[in-house]
Amino acid sequence: MFSRILVAIEMSKAGRHVFETALALAKATGANLKILHVLCPDEEGCPDTSGLLGTYYYPGTDDEATEHGQIGWEQYSQKCLERLRSLVQIATTEGVQAEFAQPSGKPSQTICEEARNWEADLIVIGQRGLSGWEKALLGSVSSYVIQNAPCSVLADQSPIRARSVPAKV
């Protein structure tokens, strides 16, 4: 059924849930797993990198602020890489051949590009459940991926997000 599953994760509890869903599918189908985290300054928990942008537009701005921003970005990147390595180890322990990648870029486009280049059969991605104005203003990575992916997509609604949304009466 599937031989190559790309799982796109965030560094959050919801990201862990998406990984577990993809791992269960990989185990059930004997598929290889590629765990993808796209480094993006918009991700929750990412350090403030606005100081780095200022140096691009205004050379000669505060070097100390720039250095602090670069150190924060590098520490965040390394923390994410450690998490990716631990997820690969979990998959390997479960008998699933796994690898990881952590490119920088716009998540929606990068996920589709990685899936195309790796020749994925399936993308597993989290879905926050945004609607209305929230979705229009913030955009939706999962919506973009569903519409532009080179393969099938499983958009996994996080039970963590679902519990925080009030029920409609």
Q: Give the model's pLDDT for residue 147.
A: 93
Residue type present at position 39: L
Q: Give the model's pLDDT for residue 64.
A: 66
**52 vs 33, 46, 78, CA distance in Å?**
34, 13, 18
Q: Give the model's pLDDT for residue 162.
A: 45
Going from the first residue of the chain to its last (169 residues), give the mean pLDDT of each consecutive group of 10, the final group possibly shorter: 95 89 97 96 71 54 67 90 97 98 95 98 84 55 92 83 45
Structural tokens at position 75: 């520490």
Rounded CA gap, 23 and 50, in Å? 35
Q: Give the model's pLDDT for residue 29.
A: 97
Continuous H helices in the chain: 13-29, 50-57, 63-93, 107-118, 132-138, 141-148, 159-164
Q: In terms of CATH, what superfamily is 4-164?
A: HUPs (3.40.50.620)
Domain boundaries defined on the chain? 4-164
Q: Give the model's pLDDT for residue 127.
A: 83
129 class by beta-carbon count within 10 Å (0-12 exposed, 13-18 middle, 19+ buried): middle
Rounded CA gap, 145 and 95, in Å? 28
